């Protein structure tokens, strides 16, 4: 299934049915009086977060959603039927924005959460409502209220516990493939990842969700490369895993590039808890590892050593991620963590 995280939709709620003008006409009843019923209410347009979806691809093929109109009232005091609602089924983590793409209407972060995007119009009153002691045969009825029509944007932000960051070819997809059942594309050229990937990772009997997004390059906030449009998918993460390629020739410069892009993007990403890992250490000898790690720690703080290919240090990185996530989410300790003493997020 193709990944789509931004979609434009046009919605319209149902109009209310008009009230009826009718009079009771029966044999032997000389003064039947008015008996026009009210119109039915128009249907609403509703958005609902459902389980089992992780893309907005359904809205690529259908962009118009119109609820049904209410039926008109009828004689014999019969009210028209209400129009059927229409429900937009969206993935958990979907933001609904106004046409300006800035004003957030709703943020659906839980399964089953619903929001009414456009209310249906009320039905009009029939002439029965206008009967009075001075007007016993009213010949007027109200039309139904019109529906609401609007254009909205749907923007998906994946809900993951941890997010992977780094330059292209930093080894993010290799790490995800090595630690989960996800099978992202892996190759020796930049931008092999063109859309976010999700993987369920397990460590010490506990599982959490990791999101891998396309790599960032200098100027991504200005649209260079793939840009920073996918950074929204790690906004909800409890921790970020910043992978730095140890074989790049300038690991410190690579680290600064990504941090500067996070700061330019905003949204509090630069202030999120981060675990920094020097990747591809299988291609470095002990002297090179120590030298690069010392340089990187001078600007980035504690740095872990790992290799997604050989598996060296991967478990330790996963445990560091799990501890930070547990502290943020309020999870309980695993048996292994109970034995290892207090947490050090």
The answer on whether 166 is annotated among ligand-binding residues is: yes
- Domains of the chain (ranges; CATH) run 1-156 (2.70.210.12), 162-339 (3.40.50.300)
The angle that helices 251-265 and 286-300 make with each other, rounded to 10 degrees, is 30
Q: Using the 8-state DSSP alphabet, how is residue 98 labeled?
A: -
Q: Over the stretch 189-241, which tens digit does the pLDDT of each residue have?
A: 566 666 677 778 888 888 888 888 777 777 766 666 666 667 777 888 888 88
- Determine whether the annotation assigns residue 237 to a binding site: no
Whether pTM > 0.95 for this model: the answer is no
CB proximity list for 305: less than 8 A, separation 6 or greater: 277, 278, 281, 289, 293, 312, 313
Q: What is the pLDDT of residues 279-326, one digit of tens each?
A: 888 888 888 888 888 888 888 888 889 888 888 888 898 988 888 888
Instruction: State the Cα–Cα distance between residues 100 and 110, nearest whole angstrom.
Output: 25
Given a cut of 60, is residue 116 above it in pLDDT? yes
Residue 100 marked as a ligand binder: no
- 241 marked as part of a ligand binding site: no
173 is in an annotated binding site: yes
- 133-187 residue pLDDT tens: 888 889 999 999 999 999 999 988 887 888 888 888 888 888 888 888 767 666 6
Q: How confident is the model at residue 46 (pLDDT cuts 50, 70, 90)?
A: very high
Distance from C-alpha of 63 to C-alpha of 74, rounded to nearest angstrom: 34
Look at the block and give the residue holding tokens 């997809």: 173
Please indicate if the annotation marks 258 as binding a ligand.
Answer: no
147 marked as binding residue = no
């Amino acid at each position: 299934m193709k990944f789509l995280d931004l979609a434009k939709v046009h919605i319209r709620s149902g109009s209310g049915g008009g009230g009826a003008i009718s009079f009771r006409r029966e044999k032997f009843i000389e003064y039947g009086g008015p008996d026009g019923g009210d119109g039915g209410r128009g249907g609403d347009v509703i958005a609902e977060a459902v389980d089992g979806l992780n893309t907005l691809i359904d809205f690529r093929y259908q962009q118009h959603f119109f609820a049904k109109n209410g039926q008109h009232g009828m004689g014999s005091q019969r009210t028209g039927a209400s129009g059927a609602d229409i429900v937009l089924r969206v993935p958990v983590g979907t933001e609904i924005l106004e046409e300006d793409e800035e004003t957030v209407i709703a943020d659906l972060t839980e399964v089953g959460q619903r929001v009414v995007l456009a209310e249906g119009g009320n039905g009009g009153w029939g002439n029965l409502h206008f009967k009075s002691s001075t007007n016993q045969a009213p010949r007027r009825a109200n039309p139904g209220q019109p529906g609401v029509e609007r254009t909205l944007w749907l923007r998906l932000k994946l809900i993951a516990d941890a997010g992977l960051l780094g330059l292209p070819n930093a080894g993010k997809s290799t790490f995800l493939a090595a630690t989960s059942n996800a099978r992202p594309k892996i190759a020796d050229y930049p931008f092999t990842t063109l859309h976010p990937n999700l993987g369920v990772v397990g460590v010490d009997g506990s599982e959490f969700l990791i999101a891998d997004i396309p790599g960032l390059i200098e100027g991504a906030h200005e649209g260079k490369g793939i840009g920073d449009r996918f950074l929204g998918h790690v906004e909800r993460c409890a921790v970020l895993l910043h992978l730095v390629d140890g074989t790049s020739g300038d690991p410190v410069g690579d680290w600064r590039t990504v941090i500067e892009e996070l700061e330019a993007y905003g949204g509090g990403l630069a202030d999120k808890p981060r675990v920094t890992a020097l990747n591809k250490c299988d291609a470095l000898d002990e002297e090179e590892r120590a030298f690069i790690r010392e340089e990187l720690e001078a600007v980035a703080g504690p740095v872990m050593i790992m290799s997604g290919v050989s598996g060296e240090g991967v478990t330790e990185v996963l445990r560091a991620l799990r501890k930070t996530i547990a502290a943020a989410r309020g999870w309980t300790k695993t048996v292994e963590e109970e034995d290892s003493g207090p947490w050090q997020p």
